[in-house]
Structure 1
Amino acid sequence: MTTPPTLSLRGRWRTVASRSYGTRVYRVEGRSTLYVKTTPPRRADDFRFNPSNEAARLAWLQERGFPVPEVIEVGASDEQSWMVMTEVPGIPADTAPDRARAVATVAEFTRSLHALRDCPFDGSLTVTTDWARRAVASGVVDLDDLDPEHDGWSGQRLLEKLSGLPVPPEDLVVCHGDLGLDNVLIDPSTYELTGVIDVGRLGMADPWRDLAVLVRDAGRSVLEVYGVGFDAERERYYRLLDEFF
């Protein structure tokens, strides 16, 4: 059995995030600051946090010059799997004092990511809608973290709504897959991009896979910097699809 990181990392441990499906994120302050993400064992096709999947995506982004955490260790025991990674500098874009500048930085990063048109990871509707169905069937949709308009909805009701929407055509580019403002880090002085985190859903998808989430977090002004007009059909579809992740 592989040794869990809790037995091998020395320092002060602090929980910084947790999800209802068992994922935990810890900040460990010792000689250097590290982050540890743990989760119950996952199947490779599970879109919730999977250490091996996310580590591969971080390596892919790093090879292309994007600022991401360096993976120190990926491991597993019978009870949990984990990833240990370095800290990246900066603050989450959603906490920056000058919101307009922060949103512009995020939009510029998104445009540069979407300029890439090939990667080995699939985030297209074929796999993401299949995940939506499986997530509902297995009862793992996080119903406590839905948009206000879906408060109190069941997973089945969400799926019925998604199935009733026209499926938009896809223009596949490299997408982050969970591009909230909190997953992009910036320098609070210069507003330059310093880090990209939580990339476990990165893959080939339509740009609105990311843009719908950004519009939710930042408003339509983000589209002006990115350089695209508002697409109500795609925004509605991908905003709803995100509820299953």
Structure 2
Amino acid sequence: MLANSPQGPVEVPEAVLALAGREPAEAVWQNEAGGLTFRVGERFVKWTPAGSGLDLAAEAVRLRWARAFAVVPRVLEQGADTAGQWLVTAALPGGMAVLDEWKRDPATAVRAIGRGLRELHEALPVGECPFDWSVPSRLARVRTASGPEDWHPDHRHLGSAERALALLAEAPPVDRLVVCHGDACAPNTLIGADGRCAGHVDFGALGLADRWADLAVATWSTQWNYGPGWELPLLEAYGVEPDPERTAYYRLLWDLT
């Protein structure tokens, strides 16, 4: 799902205004499903409209579990009304890996992302994870109504959902089972002033899967956040050799789910 900093004015939902009280609510992020993230003092408020398919209650459960093992936001409040859902978390140190200062220094940014993702995979215990992000569970949620016009340009040549699903029918063997982040795009890594990973955010899909489900997306996101040439440095920082087969498979699966 595409997301970026808001371009222009953003209407603040009533629930966010109520949560903010007298503090200003600054819109810092939005996605194509209508989800918004606001900074309110030392808190962040995520809001998603009803019917968006984004489940902030599920993310709150995942955050509470992951916080026992890794640096992730502390959940302060979660709720919903007829207009949408909200999730309030405490701010973490550091800033997104796509801030201008890191876009000007992509070598530092991708190193932090790669090392940070490896640290996350090492820290979250597979044997204790109750959440699933495996291929079968994701294939069950494939957007069969979507067509090539909705896909990344890398996949539009496939021409139809039927052909894409045929390619996804047989997944490559699992390289290493880990607790995946679930949305390892560059913006979800926080970088501190020292240039190191300071934590991770956005855990709505966290669950057990092959580590390449995360690595394929993390390396892919370097293309649109930093330009060409940064995939290999990220993999080197993570400590793994390129795997074109698994990368291609998990990028297609990501596009269709």
- Verify same fold: TM over 0.5: yes
Partner of 1:229: 241
Correspondence 1:220 to 2:224: no
Listed as ranges, the matches of 1:183-198 within 5 Å are 183-187=188-192, 189-198=193-202
Gapped regions of structure 1 (runs ≥ 5): none
Name 1:205's counterpart in structure 2. Answer: 209
- Tell me, yes or no, if structure 1 residue 125 matches structure 2 residue 132: no
Distance 1:85 1:143 in 2: 35
Map 1:79-98 onto structure 2 (within 5 A): 79-95=83-99, 96=102, 97-98=104-105
2:95 corresponds to 1:104: no
Cα RMSD after superposing both structures: 2.6
Pairing 1:67–2:67 present: no
Q: How many residues align?
A: 227
2:168 is the alignment partner of 1:160: no
Partner of residue 51, structure 1: 56
Choose the corresponding residue for 1:16, options 18, 28, 33: 28
Query: Equivalent residue for 1:4?
Result: 15
Question: TM (normalized to structure 2)?
Answer: 0.78
SS of residue in 1 equivalent to 2:76: strand
Unaligned runs of 5+ in 2: 1-13, 223-229
Structure 1 residue 143: deviation in Å?
Answer: 5.8
Distance in 2 (CA, whole Å) between partners of 1:172 and 1:113 is: 13
Q: Of residues 124, 148, 151 in structure 1, which corresponds to 2:153?
A: 148
Paired residues of 2:16 and 2:47 also in contact (CA < 8 A)? no
Q: 1:153 to 1:6 in 2, by over 3 A?
A: farther
Deviation (angstroms), 1:243: 1.1
**How far, CA to CA, are the matches of 1:19 and 1:142 in structure 2?**
20
Q: Distance in 2 between matches of 1:178 and 1:200?
A: 8
Q: Quick one: which amino acid aligns to residue 108 of structure 2?
A: R
